[in-house]
Amino acid sequence: ADDQDQLNKLQFEDIRESVYLNKENFDKIRVEKLSFSKNSPEDFLNLQKKNKISNVNNKFANKIELNINIEKTSVLVINEVYNPGWKAYIDGNKAELLRVNYFQQGLFLKEGAHKIVLRFFPEKLFFALLISLFTLIFLILSVLTWKIFLEGFYGRKIKNKK
């Protein structure tokens, strides 16, 4: 579904009963068997009850950890706004976060027990911190250089005038 189609469905349908993927993400995972329908014996709501989430740790604003046991290959929807700054790890291996339900994050999970870790650290923040660090170093070196220059030029230590 495209973005507009997802928005329309979210207005009138219960997102607890379905997951909407945009075409790009759907194409990435469609090779796997994902079959959910309200008419099937193992429908979406029953699957939610079977998949067991435990040990959720979200004490920090930039990190979420949880353990999950998946009964059937599915998409885990994380009620956090999708942002490319989030990085996901499944059992210690980097995984691709999907944008689902127009604004949420999702992870494609296969059967079995998994440890999920989500970390938020946008690249722009990293570059901003790096630039700030270089600016601070430059200012300190400039002050020290200027002080050394003045001491060398006048041949004596600079004293504060009172």
pLDDT digits (tens, 9 = 90+) for 137-156: 999 999 988 888 777 766 65
Confidence of residue 45 (pLDDT cuts 50, 70, 90): low
pLDDT at 93: 95
Mean pLDDT, residues 97-117 taken together: 88
Q: Rounded to two decimals, what is the model's pTM? A: 0.64
The beta-strand segments (E) located in the chain are: 52-60, 63-70, 74-81, 86-90, 93-95, 98-100, 104-109, 112-120
pLDDT at 79: 84
16: which 2 tokens? 């607890």
